[in-house]
Structure formats: structure tokens, C-alpha cells
Structure 1
């Protein structure tokens, strides 16, 4: 087994030559003072405590595995085999904490940052990165506003909220029509922050274009919600045949329990950028209540042998099933390592310019390699559709990413 792990580390590090570009060093919190032989510092900012701690720890562990893989494969060869060092910070899911921790890590000499899970936290970290001219690679945070500021040092791997909302409506339309039962009336339940609101807006606009009627749209506070029975009862009364849900993990499990209790008579519970419905642990934690649930979301590519190997390594190391967030953080560190390799300088400005020219195969299901446009968006990012079938999350659409065919109607909660 140890030989297998080493092979995975080497394979994961092989694509590091896939991007180009360099520039003279700029500001960067003392990174230029790195002595020969010192490790190159990368900041990792995620919620390691609070309501999103389970996701944050997954992402932290994914970043750690990426650093270990690069170091095991010989480090940054263009810098004499320099090793990477991860500087970790707990944002607690709070914007002000994320901001102060990002500044601390930059002051300690980080040449780049990855994070943060919550869009509101990524917004404050982005301001720190831009002010200090230190590149920030967003692994998870979907709010469209993050890359609408004209920042030059902020990049995002996952698709934006608008892309996920729009594509989610298209997937629902295509799958339901192919099953001979087109989705007609949709109720929406979404978390109230910029993430959930933007996903809702994108979905609702596209759904209307595709002939679906949005009969209700209700928001909630994911940090304080404890039960969804009232909301699901209202969905039942609305006559909706599909419930679209956009939110986080804990609230996704609570929603599944409410659907099982109320039995709203839906054709589908259809997650869009839902933080629960495509997570390997969800079917067991929902105790069967989530069977048939869909999720249109960024997702690790279960058909990619390298991703499968990483999942096995993650489980062996952390005694837990790997979630997509861990893979996005893993890829974010790989993007930075690739940029360091090409730039040949452990300087934020040079790393930033190399990141901007990234062309790196991803372990996430995408349309192509990680490649950023002028705003910092990953041009090839896309969601795919998963479904809980037989107490397991499987990829079901588009066809080239599918492990199984979608089951529609799914009659969740019945």
C-alpha cells in the first residue's frame, strides 16, 4: 500500500509544468526575504470550527495532501527542490476573522493563499490579497461578486453561483423532459447569504426561460435553522412538483428529514450547489431520507483514476470519505505549485502571473483543464448532476460523466 501512495504523489505532481509566465517581484509580505533552503509558505484559510467545521477540515486535509504530494515528488524543482509549507488558519466562518488571519499569514511570508469555503469570508480575504499583491486561489466560494471587483490577484477554481444556478435549471429541464415528465412548478428553498441568493437568482431566471414556473422562493439562516417541517409543508401546499434547494451540509440533512416527515409528493428534490446532497456521508447521515435526491454541483470526477486514487489515500490518512471540497483545495495547492515551478521564483508577483496562465489537468469534473480568464474565473469549470441511488451518491448527467442513469421521478420522502 505504501508504494501505491508514493505513486499517487508522483502522478499528482507530474502536471506541474502546465502553466507559464513570470514577472518582477512586487509587494508580498516579506516573501522575498526567503533564504535558500527555507520552505515556501502557502496559506490555507478554512472554517476549522463552527457550523462548517466538517467541510473546512476536509479542505484543510486536501491542501495538506497536496503539499505532501509535491514534497514527496521532489519539491519545486526549478527552485532547487524547495519544499512547500502550509500555514493553516481557522476562519471560524467569520469574515472579520478570515481577514485578520489572512493578514497574519501574509505577514509570515506566504507567497499565495487558498480558501475559504464561505463567500463572505473569501470577500475579506480577497481584499487582503489584493492590497498585499499576494495571489489568492479560491477553492470554494461561489458568489459572483468576488470576481467582479477588478482584482488582479484573485482566482477561482469552482464555477460561479450564476453558472451553477443557470446550469442547474438546464439539467432539471433536460432530465425531466427525457423522462417524459417535464418539471412544471418549482419551489425554491435557499440559504440567505450571497451564495444562496445568487444561485437562486440564476436558477429562477433560467427556469423561466425554459418554461418552468417558480411558485415560491424562501430563504433561511443556515447557522440557526433547526427544522424545515414548516417550510416543506408550505412547499406541499404550493402544488410544486420539484423542490430546488441551495445550502450547506447541516441544513441539507435537516431538509431531508423534513421531507421524509411531511411527504410533500414531489417528483424530485433537486439540489443546486447544495453542500449535502452529493457528499458521500449524506445518505447514511440522512438515514435513507435523502434517497433519490439530485444535486447539480461542482464535484470530484469519480471516473478519473487519479481522483479515485486520491480518495483512497485520503480515507487511509484521515479515516473518512473524501468530499469534493478536499479535492478543490488539493487542486488549488497544485495550481500554486505549478506556478512556482514555472516562475522559478518564490515571489508573489511572479507566482500571480504564472497562475494567470495556468493550464493544468483537474481532478474535478470539468470541461477541460484549469485555465483562468482575465477576471480570474476558471473557464472550464462546470457542475455535474449527481443522485443518491441505493444509498450511494453517483454521477448521472451529462452522459460523458455518468456512472448511472438518472431516476426521474424520484418520489423523495414517499
Structure 2
């Protein structure tokens, strides 16, 4: 009897020990579960807030998908946002420092934050993996002199050199194909005083000049909201050019420019840089947007040859009820580029290995084939990688009209032209 009692106590004690071990293991698992924070720099307020909202939506969609699929080794992802507001140096620095001050932030991304991309140096000092889709000329100027110093940072956007040259080639090809009549090869170029718009407009002026064009209007407006373009448009109408170009990338400004141009249009092809890709542009211009031409580097490549773009665009619209512009889809893909690197390395805290793995990316994305140039850290540009794409808007829909290898439609004469 006594032996049976002792045996019972031993059995009970063993059960208690086993239970304690299981509880301890469970507690250890709970304790080991962590949050991997992804830091997003975005202009959530200010004149570029339409783009900032897209950044956030695209990145959040990727984070939600990753968490729904189980996260990473039991860890979950969380998107934390630093508002760069008007993109001034002070506001960008404040947002960067706040995110870098969080030890759980292991990766950062943006569409564009400062436009000059000065924050790349801060990311290098902090050894923070960083992918941006901003002004690539500035990225190249920072990184190319010493690429090894900047293993932190990689650009979704390829070289902007094509922005500087390919509008001229595009227009002259339309003329050669009989789709556009050039009377005397005159061009009006209007820009905004910021690194993106100025870099592109200066490159365009150089290329048009080299091709024998005459610059009839060369104007630059202060960076920020512009509501009255009529004084500049009066100069355009004094000597009507074959082509009118505005490189101001803010969708509200570009929409105002087009609406005011159409109050008394000249017989000119109108090309607007980037802004028509933002859904807000069509909302602000409505039917006035019909015929407008714009181009993109790193934008979605909607083509049967690249089904990835349609796949991600559909997911975005299903989730948010609106179409994405360039940045919603790009930021979604950039989060997944980071996740690919994380799976390869296995440890979010090993920033050096993560940065190296990002640099080794070679995959099909919404914009084409993403592979980085090791000498500049820019995405590689070209029809076999990320091509420059030209679009034309009709009835609110954007049709890819160049390059021919991917085109889903052809250029049609703009409705105000004779």
C-alpha cells in the first residue's frame, strides 16, 4: 500500500514536471516571437501626399500578405511610417532619425523622400538596408564614386538618362511614321525648381538642341503648389511650338497646367512628366486628360509578356477599391525584394548579409526584370530589364504605346490638334 502511494506521488510529480516543461517551452516560444519592423519614408502630408498614400498602401499590402502567410519563422512584420511632409531636409532628417532610432526596424524603403537622396549617407552610417525609387541621377552621383561604401542602398529606378533623351526620339519617330506633323521643330519646356524636374528638363533641352530643335519657351516655377500657369501659357501661345513639355511631377500642378492649356490650346503635342500616372490626375482633369502622353521608368509594364503587372495591380484594386499608380505597385514589390533577401539570409538582424542579398536580386517584377548594376546600385535599364515606357490616356484608361515590343495600343492624335 505504502509502495503504491509513493508510486502515485512520483507519477503525479512527473506529470507536474512534464507540464511545467511544456509551459516553459510555450513561454519560450512566445518570448522568441518578435516583430520585424519595416520603415517607410513617405510624404503623407504636403503637396505630394497622393504619392505618399500610394507608398503606404502598396507596402502595407505586401506586409499584410506576408503576415497572412505566417510571417517569417514565427515573427510578424509591421509597417512603420515616417512622414517626410514637404520633403525638406529637416523633415526628411527627422523622419529618418525616428525610424533609425527604433531597434526593431530592420529595413527601410521609399518611393522618393528628399529628391536629392541625401539620406543615403545616413543609411550607410547606420548600416540600414534601404531601397528607394527616387531620382536616380542623384543616387548614382552619391554611390558610383565608392559603391562598396554604400552596400546599404539600392535603387528600384534605373538611370534617368532615358528620360533626358527618349522624348525627343519618341516625337521624331511619330513624325517619321506619319502620326505627327512637325512644322518647324520648336519645343516649349516648363519645369519646377526641384532635383527631379530640373534634371529631366535640362537633359531634354540638351537632346532637343542636339537634334536641331528650337527652344521657344524655357520656364521654371518654384517648387510647390502652382495654381496659375496662364502667364507661362501666354508665352507658349505667342510662338506656338510643335511640342509642349511640363516636367512638374506634382499631379495637382500638372492637372492645372493641362486644364489651363486647353482654355486656348495650340496645335502642339503635350507631354507631361510622370504626373498623369497618378490616379488623382485623371480625377482632376476628367475628359481633358484624353490624349495626354507621359512616360515612366520603373512603372508597371502591362503586357502579355509581363503578367506580373496585371496580377499585382488586380490585388491592389481588389484591396483598396482604386487603381494604383506607379508607386503602389513598386513599393509592394520592394517589400517582397526584402522578404526574398530575408529568406536567403535567415536573420533580420544581419543587416550586412541582407544588404548583399538585396544587391543580388534578379527577378521579374511589375516593371520588368529587376537586376542591379553593381557599379551604381541602380536597376538595370533596357528592353531586357526595365524599359522606358510611354503611355497615352483615353477615357481614363492608360494605354502602353511604346516600346513596340510591349505596346498594347498605338499613339492617336491628341484631340486638340488639327
TM-score, reference length from structure 1: 0.83
SS of aligned partner of 1:295: strand
**How far apart, CA to CA, are the structure 2 residues paired with 1:369 and 1:161?**
16
**How far apart, CA to CA, are the structure 1 residues paired with 2:322 and 2:277?**
15
Instruction: Count residues in correspondence.
Output: 369
Does structure 2 conserve the Cα–Cα contact (< 8 Å) formed by 1:159 and 1:383?
A: no
What corresponds to 2:326 in structure 1? 324
Does structure 2 conserve the Cα–Cα contact (< 8 Å) formed by 1:164 and 1:382?
A: no
What corresponds to 2:294 in structure 1? 295
SS of aligned partner of 1:317: helix
What corresponds to 2:366 in structure 1? 363
Shift of 1:211: 3.4
**How far apart, CA to CA, are the structure 2 residues paired with 1:278 and 1:239?**
26
Residue 102 (structure 1) aligned to one of 81, 91, 96: 96
Once the two structures are superposed, the pairs formed by residues 12-51 of structure 1 within 5 Å of their partners are 36-51=32-47
Unaligned runs of 5+ in 1: 1-34
What corresponds to 2:214 in structure 1? 213
What corresponds to 2:125 in structure 1? 131
Shift in alpha-carbon separation, 1:413–1:50, aligned structure 2, 3 A = farther
Shift in alpha-carbon separation, 1:362–1:249, aligned structure 2, 3 A = same
Once the two structures are superposed, the pairs formed by residues 182-221 of structure 1 within 5 Å of their partners are 183=182, 184-221=185-222
Shift in alpha-carbon separation, 1:96–1:116, aligned structure 2, 3 A = farther
Does structure 1 conserve the Cα–Cα contact (< 8 Å) formed by 2:308 and 2:365?
A: no
Shift in alpha-carbon separation, 1:185–1:255, aligned structure 2, 3 A = same
What corresponds to 1:383 in structure 2? 388
- Can you list the C-alpha shifts for 1:272-325, whole angstroms capped at 9, x where unaligned? 3x22x2334433420222221100113212234333233233223223221111
What corresponds to 2:398 in structure 1? 393
Shift of 1:390: 3.2
Shift of 1:397: 0.9
What corresponds to 1:8 in structure 2? none
1:113 corresponds to 2:133: no
Shift of 1:193: 0.7
What corresponds to 1:142 in structure 2? 135
Shift of 1:119: 4.2
Shift of 1:199: 0.4
1:243 corresponds to 2:228: no
**How far apart, CA to CA, are the structure 2 residues paired with 1:65 and 1:391?**
24
Shift of 1:334: 1.4
**How far apart, CA to CA, are the structure 1 residues paired with 2:287 and 2:161?**
31
TM-score, reference length from structure 2: 0.82
Shift in alpha-carbon separation, 1:271–1:352, aligned structure 2, 3 A = same
- Can you list the C-alpha shifts for 1:248-277, whole angstroms capped at 9, x where unaligned? 2111110111111121221x10123x22x2
Shift in alpha-carbon separation, 1:233–1:389, aligned structure 2, 3 A = same
**How far apart, CA to CA, are the structure 2 residues paired with 1:172 and 1:335?**
35
Shift in alpha-carbon separation, 1:320–1:221, aligned structure 2, 3 A = farther
- Can you list the C-alpha shifts for 1:328-356, whole angstroms capped at 9, x where unaligned? 11121111111111122212111111111
What corresponds to 1:5 in structure 2? none
Does structure 2 conserve the Cα–Cα contact (< 8 Å) formed by 1:162 and 1:198?
A: no
Does structure 2 conserve the Cα–Cα contact (< 8 Å) formed by 1:339 and 1:354?
A: yes
Once the two structures are superposed, the pairs formed by residues 168-183 of structure 1 within 5 Å of their partners are 168-179=167-178, 181=180, 183=182
**How far apart, CA to CA, are the structure 1 residues paired with 2:278 and 2:113?**
17
SS of aligned partner of 1:149: helix
Residue 265 (structure 2) aligned to one of 240, 258, 263: 263
Shift in alpha-carbon separation, 1:217–1:81, aligned structure 2, 3 A = farther
Shift of 1:411: 4.7
Shift in alpha-carbon separation, 1:374–1:52, aligned structure 2, 3 A = same
Unaligned runs of 5+ in 2: 1-30, 144-149
**How far apart, CA to CA, are the structure 2 residues paired with 1:106 and 1:55?**
23
SS of aligned partner of 1:223: coil
**How far apart, CA to CA, are the structure 2 residues paired with 1:101 and 1:283?**
31
SS of aligned partner of 1:148: helix
- Can you list the C-alpha shifts for 1:66-105, whole angstroms capped at 9, x where unaligned? 11222333433xxx25332212121113331221211221
**How far apart, CA to CA, are the structure 2 residues paired with 1:50 and 1:331?**
25
Shift of 1:118: 4.4
SS of aligned partner of 1:300: coil
SS of aligned partner of 2:401: strand
Question: Which of these two proteins has the greater Rg computed from alpha carbons?
Answer: 2
